[in-house]
Chains A and B, each alone.
Chain A
Amino acid sequence: MIEVIDAQRCTSCDICVNICPTNVFDKTHGIPVIARQADCQTCFLCELYCPEDALFVSPFADIPQNVDLEALRQNALLGSYRRAVGWTEETKDRRDIDRSYLLFGH
């Protein structure tokens, strides 16, 4: 489930509010809030769309977790999914790296 919006990184662009398929966030006059955490389906898409790597989705789908934001920052876990799929400037050459065709038919 979505656990944290890093206030140091968030620019209040509200992209997460707009793109969350299950409407978990609410806009405010500043940083959005996680208003309906229980509605989070753990799809990781808010993290993927965040241009500032300010969000972290814990992989636990059913139970909220305490996360250590400082440790997430230090271990480069913020934005790791976005980098992996090539949605950052530095990793955009990964967008066509899919090798599923070698795995099908197993």
Chain B
Amino acid sequence: MTVQSTRAERVSAPAGSVEFDADVLIVGGGPAGTWAAISAAERGARVVLADKGFCGTSGATAAAGTGVWYVDPEPALREAAMANREKLGGHLQDRRWMARVLDRTYEQSNRLADWGYPYPVDDNGKSQRNSLQGPEYMRLMRKRTKQAGVTILDHSPALELLVDEKGAVAGASGLRRHKHDRWTVRARAVVIATGGCAFLSKTLGSNVLTGDGYLMAAEAGAEFSSMEFSNPYAISAAFGSVTKTLFYGWATFTYEDGSVVPGAASKGGRSAIARALTQGPVYARLDKADGDVQRQMRVSQPNFFLPFDRTGIDPFADRFPVTLRLEGTVRGTGGLRIVDDSCATTVAGLYAAGDAATRELICGGFTGGGSHNAAWAMSSGTFAGRGAADYARHAGPARGRRLSSAGTLALRQRAERSFKPAELAKAVQDEVFPYELNYFREAGRLGGSLERLDALWSEVAQADAAGADDVFRARESASMLATARWMYRSGLARQESRGMHRRDDFPDQDNRQRHYITSGGLDEVWTSVRPHAEAVYAEAAE
């Protein structure tokens, strides 16, 4: 079979470890990672995909399902699709990127149909392709990834990147949790598709998303963009994990005494819910959904009803307490900065895709929700997979190069202090969950939070390497800490309210700040300003 010849090669390795020689390593097995893996393999690359959990179930999409920014290629429809969210996004989108993502999403969604994805057919006989059932979609993507000849490592969190003498990324290493050993993949290019960071908030399917890829990439020198757009919160029943905010569009929100929370709404009124929650419990009832809508909801998103059916709540008739769970950069738009059409980062050999990459190019400063993010995962996954495969073909051989490990926190012996992952994760959550810190931002509060986060960083940067049982959790909590610092430093740098970034001290949008905030750094976190693409084009035209 032809696929056999393009498989990554397993090479001999010291006891307690396994080593592969590949062209492209994909870190993360959600939609972006699987599209990247398939696309790289289709270019002839030998590909390994390492997933922290199980490729096919891990990540927000598999658990939750998603809308898709799928628009028929008619100029008027495409124009409307691009125009209708530009204001929400604070006019930070890039039209050229939006157009190429719409093209690619259309093409790849149609491939899913060819591969057997059971898209629904409407009453007019038209196949409807703007929604994907998560488990169904990702089960199919795993199958196609295997069929493409990709070697999948499940339950194999990456811990750190490998770099060559020139600083180019050349693989990664990590754990195989089920085999109780370690893996190393020497590759000519790496795609980070690890998703965003939701800080272990239990928003549906997101607890594997702790920003690990950001930390690894930053240790190799990568930069970030738009990390201030990192504060979306999703509505769920107060006791539950199912965050499907769309359905709360049919809800009435009330205080304890039954009176309506003024201005509260799923869309355009979530901040009223957040403010009310700082005072006391808030309740919802989906009393605006008529019989037809109720039936459509039931068949479209069965998981939405699990918390209700299992507790005896009728969400259309009974009121139930709700909360807002932080989705961080999973539904925010910030992530690794992309420097060209192949989704390359600022580091040679390193590519980014999906939620791990910035989505400002198509979303600006406002959440892509499921829809744009799903389109981005398909498109950026494809771009990055192809880009990495092409780069690998031109880069030198992976073997024989002297490689070093780029990891820092929790991986190197420092002093006598021990690393306490659970305590660190909790300390970071205390800085990023509170609405008064993250949802409603203000210089004094952001600054105070950053002081505490920086102090935590200084402390753990001096800590010992974590033990074998702890190192995975230690790296997760360190990644959360790093992410929070890039977020808040960027939030301080944007002295206005734009997109989802709201500043109590700068409540208006400031037209002079229609630019991007770049950030990076580990011990010292920095930010700088980059002009919006249109300004760059205008300058070039002069």
CB of A21 within 8 A of CB of B240, answer no
Contact among A42, A87, A106 for B249, CB-based, below 8 A: A106
Q: A41-B207, A61-B202 are in contact. Are A23 and B296 (CB under 8 A)?
A: no
Size of interface on B: residues with Cβ below 8 Å to A: 56
**9-residue interface stretch from B182-190, B306-314, B443-451, B480-488:** B306-314
* Prevailing SS type, chain B contact patch: loop
Is A29 positioned at the interface, with any CB of B under 8 Å from its CB?
no
- Measured in the bound complex, the distance between the Cα atoms of B241 and A35 in whole Å is 21
Q: Which residues of A contact B246 (CB under 8 A)?
A: 103-104, 106
Size of interface on A: residues with Cβ below 8 Å to B: 40
**9-residue interface stretch from B116-124, B349-357, B426-434, B518-526:** B116-124
Is A12 positioned at the interface, with any CB of B under 8 Å from its CB?
no
Most B C-beta atoms less than 10 A away, residue of A21, A23, A80, A104: A21
| Binary flags per residue of B278-296, CB closer than 8 Å to A gives 1, else 0 | 0000000000000001001
Q: Which residues of A contact B205 (CB under 8 A)?
A: 21, 41, 43
Distance between B238 CB and nearest chain A CB, rounded to angstroms: 10
Q: Which residue of B lies closest to A41 (CB)?
A: B207
Q: For residues 106 through 129 of chain B, which have their beta carbon under 8 Å from a beta carbon of chain A?
A: 118-122, 128
- Measured in the bound complex, the distance between the Cα atoms of B250 and A33 in whole Å is 40
Distance between B63 CB and nearest chain A CB, rounded to angstroms: 4
CB of B120 within 8 A of CB of A43, answer no
Q: Which residues of A contact B250 (CB under 8 A)?
A: 106
**9-residue interface stretch from B16-24, B49-57, B269-277, B452-460:** B49-57
Q: Which residues of A contact B240 (CB under 8 A)?
A: 42, 59-61
Q: Which residue of A lies closest to B118 (CB)?
A: A96
| Binary flags per residue of A27-49, CB closer than 8 Å to B gives 1, else 0 | 00000000000010111110011
Is A62 positioned at the interface, with any CB of B under 8 Å from its CB?
yes
Most A C-beta atoms less than 10 A away, residue of B130, B177, B202, B249: B202
CB of B53 within 8 A of CB of A20, answer yes
| Binary flags per residue of B298-325, CB closer than 8 Å to A gives 1, else 0 | 0111110111111100000000000000
CB of A103 within 8 A of CB of B241, answer no
Is B135 positioned at the interface, with any CB of A under 8 Å from its CB?
yes
CB of B300 within 8 A of CB of A23, answer no
Q: For residues 176 through 212 of chain B, which have their beta carbon under 8 Å from a beta carbon of chain A?
A: 177-178, 202, 204-208
Is A13 positioned at the interface, with any CB of B under 8 Å from its CB?
no
Q: Which residues of A contact B249 (CB under 8 A)?
A: 106
Is A88 positioned at the interface, with any CB of B under 8 Å from its CB?
no
Q: Which residue of B lies closest to A26 (CB)?
A: B178
Q: Which residues of B contact A22 (CB under 8 A)?
A: 53, 58, 207-208
Q: A59-B310, A62-B202 are in contact. Are A100 and B130 (CB under 8 A)?
A: yes
Contact among A19, A39, A80, A96 for B57, CB-based, below 8 A: A19
- Measured in the bound complex, the distance between the Cα atoms of B502 and A90 in whole Å is 50
Contact among A21, A42, A80, A98 for B309, CB-based, below 8 A: A80
- Measured in the bound complex, the distance between the Cα atoms of B313 and A59 in whole Å is 12
Q: Which residues of B contact A103 (CB under 8 A)?
A: 246-247, 293, 296-297, 300
| Binary flags per residue of B230-264, CB closer than 8 Å to A gives 1, else 0 | 00000001011110001101100000000000000
Distance between B421 CB and nearest chain A CB, rounded to angstroms: 12
Most A C-beta atoms less than 10 A away, residue of B56, B299, B310, B371: B310
Distance between B232 CB and nearest chain A CB, rounded to angstroms: 18
Is B155 positioned at the interface, with any CB of A under 8 Å from its CB?
yes
Q: Which residue of A lies closest to B303 (CB)?
A: A44
Is B67 positioned at the interface, with any CB of A under 8 Å from its CB?
yes
| Binary flags per residue of B129-143, CB closer than 8 Å to A gives 1, else 0 | 011010110000000
CB of A21 within 8 A of CB of B120, answer no
Is B381 positioned at the interface, with any CB of A under 8 Å from its CB?
no
Contact among A21, A94, A99 for B62, CB-based, below 8 A: A21
Is A77 positioned at the interface, with any CB of B under 8 Å from its CB?
yes
Q: Which residues of B contact A43 (CB under 8 A)?
A: 57, 62-63, 204-205, 241
Q: Which residues of A contact B310 (CB under 8 A)?
A: 58-59, 77
Interface, chain B (partner A; CB < 8 A): 52-54, 56-59, 62-63, 67, 118-122, 128, 130-131, 133, 135-136, 154-155, 177-178, 202, 204-208, 237, 239-242, 246-247, 249-250, 293, 296-297, 299-303, 305-311, 371
Name 16 A/B residue pairs within 8 A (Cβ), A-sorted.
A17-B178, A22-B58, A22-B207, A42-B202, A42-B204, A43-B63, A45-B57, A49-B57, A58-B310, A59-B237, A60-B239, A61-B202, A61-B239, A61-B240, A96-B118, A104-B371
Instruction: List 6 other contacts, CB 8 Å, given A22-B208, A41-B206, A41-B241.
Output: A20-B54, A23-B178, A98-B299, A100-B67, A103-B297, A106-B246
- 10 closest pairs, A vs B, by CB? A21-B53, A84-B302, A21-B58, A59-B307, A100-B131, A41-B207, A42-B241, A43-B63, A96-B118, A61-B241
